[in-house]
Amino acid sequence: MPAETVLLLPGTASDEVFVRSVFAEPLSQVGAVLTAPRVRTLSERLTALENASAGHPIVVGGVSLGAHVAARWAARNPGRCAGLILALPAWTGDPGDAPAAQAARASAEIVTHHGLDTALEGTTGWLRDELTRAWRAYGDQLVPHLEEAAGSPAPTLDELKSLNVPTGIVGCTDDPVHPIEVAEQWADAIPRAVLTTTTLNAYPHALGRAVQAWREAC
């Protein structure tokens, strides 16, 4: 029997390199294979889902914005989604003043007026390495994408309640940009969801815990 393929999408201004680094190994441990497309815009994320799901239901998901896009797509294509792996959902419904949306707007403003290097000041360690690589690769698309992401809706509660597929969610108990309350809200709304948690000290690889939560939900 062929291994199950799982398509996961990156978060705002993140990339497929980060997705692979976090999820490839946990998926291989449960006999699944990761597909992590190179996408930049929201429309490219949706196109990746559409192309991958041609002909049979698939397991999809992503990190932050990637989780939003995958869950909304699944709610609107119920016969084409076989499961969900969702890391760090950042808001429900319209973004409003959600911390992640505010952070994306602020980053776009700094890059526009002061440049990329200034926007990266204050980041350290693995986060600085990831943002430096990913943001430079976005090039001229970075600011439009940050602004687009900050205004994009996540699934509503009604959409989440309609997602009757095995779902693994990982939330962080001390990440102010991705409040744990959002992950809990999603887990409460999705009928077959299993929630696991992590902390900032365990980032980024602990996000792969969503894979085991998905298997438990199955």
Q: What is the pLDDT of residue 197?
A: 98
Looking at residue 2, its pLDDT comes to 58
Three-state SS for 122?
Answer: coil
140/206 Cα distance (integer angstroms): 31
pLDDT score for 54: 75
Report pLDDT digits (tens) over 179-200: 999 999 999 999 999 999 999 9
Show me where the domains of the chain are located. 4-96+155-217, 100-148
Any idea what DSSP says for residue 143? H
Residues of the chain with pLDDT under 70: 1-3
d(CA 119, CA 137): 15
Question: What is the spatial distance between Cα 103 and Cα 147, in angstroms, rounded to a whole number?
Answer: 10
| pLDDT at residue 122, rounded to an integer | 85
Q: In the 8-state DSSP scheme, what is residue 3?
A: P
SS3 (DSSP) at 7? strand
Q: What pLDDT sits at residue 56?
A: 85
Give the 3-state secondary structure of residue 32.
Answer: strand
Q: Alpha helices of the chain — where are they, by DSSP H? A: 16-29, 42-52, 65-76, 99-114, 116-120, 125-138, 142-150, 157-161, 180-189, 209-217
Model pLDDT for residues 74-110, shown as the tens digit of each residue: 999 999 999 999 999 999 999 999 999 999 999 999 9
Q: Which CATH class is domain 4-96+155-217?
A: alpha beta
